[in-house]
Structure 1
Amino acid sequence: MGLKPILYKTMKLSTVLILVIFILFSCQTKDNKKKVEKWKEEIIKTETEFSNLSKEEGMNVAFLKYVADDGILLRNNRLIKGRDSIKQYMINNTSKGLSWKPDFVDVSLSGDLAYTYGKYNFVYKDSLGNTKIRKGIFHTVWKRQPDNNWKFVWD
């Protein structure tokens, strides 16, 4: 048996193997894209429910429902770490004037972390009773919990 037939069989086998690998990876990529899109929809739904709860029942109720036990808030150049500390921080904050909507959502390929950012509006009364609006940008990091729900770990 000469060298040419062996090389031909090896090249043919290599080509088939590369084609099979390519097909497997392309199918996996399509599945991953579908999963990521599904997870993005979950995050948008969670953000919407979170914002609606804030408007309907107040910031303290909403933030305590959606914060993870190890969640962190950045407020006034200060980190408030953990659910219990956030509860103390939010205890007197019954405002129903905070609303937001994400402009961007992304989710890790493993589906356990996500982040959003967008614009918020905070409507409140100043010390003279005048209605004021503060607008800004928010950024939230979400983590999938053992019960499969999303909770924020950074806001």
Structure 2
Amino acid sequence: MKLFSERCILLCVFGLGNYLWAQEPDSSSALKSMIEAERAFARMAVTHGVRDAFVENLSDDAIIFRPGPVKGRPVWQERKPLALMIRWEPEYVDIAASGDFGYSTGPAEYLSVKPLAPAIGYGYFISIWTKQADGKWKVALDIGTEAPKLENTDIKIHFPFGADVKKIFSQTNTETEKTSLIGFDEKCNKTYTKNKTVEAFLKNVAPEARFYREGKFPVSEIDSIKLLLSKMADIFWKPIDGAVAASGDMAYTYGSYKIQSEEKPEEGYYFRTWKRDNTEQWKIVIDVLSPVPPQK
């Protein structure tokens, strides 16, 4: 895949003054090293096979969804090599102030190992990366959705302005912060259930948020997010676990959800990446629903 233009493009998203860089980050930054870890992971999936790439790049306690959350390395270690190749490329990335916790997301393409065979599926991946004690980046959580074919393969890397700048931060108690955030996630559900309005949910969504739904492209415009949420008025979710960066400014949660609908009831698992805004409030920047396949 082509990657990015050489010029630096400043994009204004949603017209709300939230700027993203569409260029390579500073070569000495933690963000750049995380991106390169993602790209190395993708290359290994092509050169050594998908199974070996996941076994090598997942952390010991990494979470994947099959369809519910499970420890990922044992699952991949027990799998036989796949007659399948996956190609992917990071498109949007961000990193915590601590420089050891971030996320990467972008399009993926599923191919047969037969030469010149057409793609057999498309999707989007979302990965949480954490830096290990030895300085290596490993995937702490991996989830994805199916999506239509992406016509534009000129993938440019985007990240929030300043994400590749080293920051001074105060160490936080990650367990305390995690407990607090899980409680906040649950509180959001109670507030949404009580009010049954999109506005109640949007108060917790960052302007730059991206929403992922099965079979669709990611939604990243506020009006489109409103429309998406309006179709799921009766959704209930319950957090299971999560993690918070050492700097306390980025985190994730995941859990189960259920959509009560006479026409199309659904249940499955959700994943959210959170980031503190300039008022220190947690806001959702990534929201994923991964439905459990219906029983046949």
Q: TM-score, normalised by structure 1?
A: 0.66
> Is 1:52 equivalent to 2:190 in the alignment?
yes
| 2:182–2:241 CA contact under 8 A, matched in 1 | no
Name the one with the larger strand percent. 2
| 1:72–1:153 CA contact under 8 A, matched in 2 | yes
Over the residues paired in the alignment, what is the CA RMSD in angstroms? 2.2
2:242 aligned residue: 105
2:59 aligned residue: none
Pick one of 254, 270, 276 that aligns with 1:117: 254
2:266 aligned residue: 134
Distance 2:219 2:201 in 1: 13
Q: TM-score, normalised by structure 2?
A: 0.36
Name the one with the larger helix percent. 1
Pick one of 56, 59, 66 that aligns with 2:204: 66
Distance 1:83 1:39 in 2: 28
Distance 1:63 1:136 in 2: 19
Amino acid at match of 2:257: Y
**Equivalent residues in 2 for 1:10-21, closer than 5 Å:** none
Detail structure 1 runs of 4+ shifted over 2 Å in the superposition: 82-85, 87-90
> Is 1:146 equivalent to 2:278 in the alignment?
yes
1:25 aligned residue: none
Per the TM alignment, residue 118 of structure 1 is displaced from its structure 2 partner at its CA by: 1.1
| 1:59–1:94 CA contact under 8 A, matched in 2 | no
Per the TM alignment, residue 59 of structure 1 is displaced from its structure 2 partner at its CA by: 5.3
Distance 1:93 1:133 in 2: 12
Amino acid at match of 1:66: N
Q: Which has the higher contact order (CA 8 A, sep 6+)?
A: 1
1:17 aligned residue: none
Gaps of 5+ in 2: 1-169, 288-296
> Whose radius of gyration is greater, 1 or 2?
1
Per the TM alignment, residue 107 of structure 1 is displaced from its structure 2 partner at its CA by: 0.4
How many residues are aligned here? 117
